[in-house]
Amino acid sequence: MPPGRRERKKAATRQKIADTALRLFLEHGYDAVGIRDVANEADVAVTTVFSHFAAKEALVFEQDQDFERRLTGAVTGRAPGEPLLPGLRRETHALVRHCTGSGAAPIWRMIDASPALREYEDSMRLRHAESLAAAIAADPGLSQTATAARALARFVIDAYSVAREADDPEAAVDEIFHMIEAAWEVAGAAPGPRGAVPADGR
Amino acid sequence: MPPGRRERKKAATRQKIADTALRLFLEHGYDAVGIRDVANEADVAVTTVFSHFAAKEALVFEQDQDFERRLTGAVTGRAPGEPLLPGLRRETHALVRHCTGSGAAPIWRMIDASPALREYEDSMRLRHAESLAAAIAADPGLSQTATAARALARFVIDAYSVAREADDPEAAVDEIFHMIEAAWEVAGAAPGPRGAVPADGR
DNA sequence: GAACGTAACACTAACGGTTAGGGTTTAACA
DNA sequence: TGTTAAACCCTAACCGTTAGTGTTACGTTC
């Protein structure tokens, strides 16, 4: 797909590093594999690893940008006048299903076993919540406060996070989104600085 | 107050380390001060610092256990039949007021300037959310699902976190808690595995 | 198509948080 | 008073991460 040979080589190097890292991590455990091991096995220099990935933990969450894009896309890519939450609920369902699928099980077992990886995922989720809040706040069809937008974004991310660990993840998504819909309905009503009337500036 | 001399000396050492660290951090910046600097200035060994604090970042959030105790206390320490959310809202107000007070301003400025500190605070909040969820789930007067309890706990922590950064923090607490109350009212109603019993104690 | 600019990568060496190992003091208690 | 163990010290490392400095080879331009 990418036209230049340079970009293709770069992508190949990145992919080789990520694949090698994940394989070594799953074989010997995340903590038992050092960055120098990954670099040697992938036949690159240590500095090259860090030019592709910001930190060791990022090797595990290689495709987290898809996550973010899909969530914000559920906000920005909907038809005018269409309500916000059904699309977010649908996307959350898809993400939870993807994470609890059988193929991802060993990876998540590894993540749950490593405090560093869990912490990294936590702050990753908060970044996603920020992006989602920005997308919600930028929607011209919504009249809620910036505070309500940020709160809603956090709630949605929470839904994903809590549901992923629940006994019945799919049911948990629905359960939490039921709560979120109630919260979103009253947002901007009584105690916000903004009036409940749409299209009101400031 | 603590009876033993040993415990008093230990507490004094811990306090001396924390005070020294905070002073150096505020004087020269968090990144510019190393653990070895803190240890030298406090006249202890580096290993002693880490026997009192799990990580460098923990030196800044010295009294985070109070935070957790106050939140869970708002759940466990209320009169029987008393509703859950007013107490949590009151406590969140107090915490936000405490964090946005003028005395804490330089500390929060330092935290906001350091990615490591921000990330540490993020995962700290999640720990608190877990404790809060456990306290809520353990309350015999509540009939909600474990999933709903975890979601509510996250929402409350979110309220604190979002409100702390809002233009008008106090108003933001009320705004978000308005949303949370709506969410909590419908929790356990339609799609939960547990019965929709609206319950005894109001 | 030769020359140039630069992006990607390599190598070395270090920095800083963190921990293991092993030893010393001293409070607590029988 | 003697014993135990907690708190502390010191040294030496480990490991993630980065700065500094070249080197290669792709893309571009004349």
% residues pLDDT > 90 (chain B): 84
Report d(CA A177, CA A10) in Å as an integer: 41
The reply to whether B43 and B140 lie within a common domain is no
Give a yes or no: residue A199 inside a domain: no
At B193 the pLDDT is 43
Average pLDDT of the segment spanning A134-147: 93
Distances (CA, A) of B17 to A10, B35, B107, B118: 47, 10, 17, 21
Q: Which of A122, A162, A168 is nearest residue B150 as measured by Cβ atoms?
A: A162
Average pLDDT of the segment spanning B35-60: 97
Average pLDDT of the segment spanning A157-175: 97
Read off the pLDDT band of A189 (50, 70, 90). Answer: low
Q: Which of A175, A183, A190 is nearest residue B148 as measured by Cβ atoms?
A: A175
Q: Which nucleotides of D are covered by protein (CB under 7 A)?
A: 6-12, 15-20, 26-28
Structure tokens at B132: 């809060």
Report d(CA A22, CA A62) in Å as an integer: 10
Between B40 and B141, residue with greater pLDDT: B40
The reply to whether B127 and B167 lie within a common domain is yes
The reply to whether A80 and A37 lie within a common domain is no
DSSP class of residue A199 equals T
Give a yes or no: residue B193 inside a domain: no
Give a yes or no: residue A197 inside a domain: no
The reply to whether A110 and A36 lie within a common domain is no
Report d(CA A158, CA A151) in Å as an integer: 10
Report d(CA B185, CA A181) in Å as an integer: 12
- Share the mean pLDDT of chain B: 91
At A1 the pLDDT is 55
- Taking alpha carbons only, the member of A176, A124, A126, A62 closest to residue B161 is A126
Interface contact B161, partner A, CB < 8 A: yes
Give a yes or no: residue A191 inside a domain: no
At A99, which CATH number? 1.10.357
Average pLDDT of the segment spanning A100-125: 94
Structure tokens at A64: 């987290």
Interface contact B183, partner A, CB < 8 A: yes
Best to test chain A binding among B176, B180, B185, B186 (most A CBs inside 10 Å): B176
The reply to whether A85 and A182 lie within a common domain is yes
The reply to whether A103 and A50 lie within a common domain is no
Q: Which domain holds residue B108?
A: 64-186
Average pLDDT of the segment spanning A144-149: 96
At A105 the pLDDT is 92
Inform me whether the pLDDT recorded for B16 exceeds 60: yes
Distance in angstroms: CA B139, C1' D7 = 39
* Per-residue pLDDT tens digits for A101-111: 988 999 999 99
Exposure string over A149-178, b if 16+ CB within 10 A, otherwise e: bbbbbbbbbbbbbbbbebeebebbbbbbbb
At A48, which CATH number? 1.10.10.60
The reply to whether B94 and B174 lie within a common domain is yes
Alpha carbon B104 to its chain centroid, in Å, reads 15
The reply to whether B143 and B179 lie within a common domain is yes
Give a yes or no: residue A168 inside a domain: yes
Report helix angle B146-164 to B115-137, nearest 10: 140
The reply to whether A51 and A71 lie within a common domain is no
Report d(CA A137, CA A147) in Å as an integer: 9
At A192 the pLDDT is 40
Inform me whether the pLDDT recorded for A36 exceeds 80: yes
Inform me whether the pLDDT recorded for A35 exceeds 80: yes
At B195 the pLDDT is 38
Give a yes or no: residue B59 inside a domain: no
Give a yes or no: residue A112 inside a domain: yes
The reply to whether B39 and B88 lie within a common domain is no
Read off the pLDDT band of A10 (50, 70, 90). Answer: very high
Interface contact B131, partner A, CB < 8 A: no
At B189 the pLDDT is 59
The reply to whether A94 and A148 lie within a common domain is yes
Domain count, chain B: 2
Read off the pLDDT band of A64 (50, 70, 90). Answer: confident
Interface contact A54, partner B, CB < 8 A: no
Give a yes or no: residue B153 inside a domain: yes
Q: Which nucleotide is nearest to A17 (CA to C1')?
A: C9
On whether the CB atoms of residues B118 and B31 are closer than 8 A, the answer is no
Query: Residue A151 and residue B171: Cβ atoms within 8 Å?
Result: no
Query: Residue B154 and residue A175: Cβ atoms within 8 Å?
Result: no
Inform me whether the pLDDT recorded for B5 exceeds 50: yes
Inform me whether the pLDDT recorded for A63 exceeds 80: yes
Interface contact A200, partner B, CB < 8 A: no
At A3 the pLDDT is 73
The reply to whether B179 and B119 lie within a common domain is yes
At B194 the pLDDT is 42
Q: Which of B174, B183, B191 is nearest residue A183 as measured by Cβ atoms?
A: B183
